[in-house]
Structure 1
Amino acid sequence: MQARMSIRKPAAKGMQAMLALEAYVSASPLPHAVKELVKLRVSQINGCGFCVDMHARDARKAGETDERLFTVAAWREAPYFTDAERAALALAEAATRIADNAEGVPTEVWDEAARHYDEEQLAGLVMAIAAINAWNRINVTLRQPAGAAF
């Protein structure tokens, strides 16, 4: 598989904006493990091999366990996640599959996330979900192969 094009040069300003968004997410007070789990799960939903590969590797380098990486796609049935992580994953799934629910993100999903995260962390979580969805759409559209340099 080969990427359709490199977007770095023709969309340099857009890439700068995406990287600025990524810097915000990185600096947000949302726990690092949650950021990586959300990026991985959203990328799985969106079928972005490039991002699944990258975020699984990043999470592993940051100390994430194999059990959690192997089961994040089935987090509801796996015993390895905290209630706060489950709330973040549920919000990430609902926001990623926004068209699947007439309510958009169900109130109970939002309320559960708000129970575990303060306002700044929730803002970081929402922005992390938006950012990884955007990255997925860029990489899937361009057919960026897993393991390739972007």
Structure 2
Amino acid sequence: MSGTPCDTPQRPTFLGLEPLIVARLEATVRSALQVPVLSTADIAGATEASLPKPSVRVAYGGHQVVQAGAQLPAGWALIEQTWIVVPAVRNVRDIRAGAAPRADASPLCDAVLDALDGWAPGCGYGPLKSVTPGLRPATLDGCTYVPLAFTSRFRRTTQCT
């Protein structure tokens, strides 16, 4: 996959999907809407007030072992990871009803969904699938956050190599 940060095409790393998602969003959302894309490293240690808005934030949302053992080679497991992508905007017009910030967030949500839903990142990771996030949208002090969630599956060895 040209221009994509793959460590090893045949062997995905456990958190290796994050830089692929960030690169995809930078190539699509950032270039089209001029909105920064922030990784976990960008967010870590920062105060919310110091983070740019509008922005799109990418964070690990957990995993589950979907299948292990019998239907896979010995020592391998099928992992399904969830990644949370949060468009964030700030708009204090109509702060009580929230219509203005929702209107600002909507194009970011559409751009993220268009970029990631069904996208196959390669590098051993399966296509991303939009799923219901475990977090609800929130508005606080004029900032609106709309979490979107995506899952991807990959095979991972359960043995040391």
TM exceeds 0.5?
Answer: no
Q: Higher helix proportion, which one?
A: 1
Larger radius of gyration between Structure 1 and Structure 2: 2
TM-score by length of 2: 0.25
Q: Higher strand proportion, which one?
A: 2
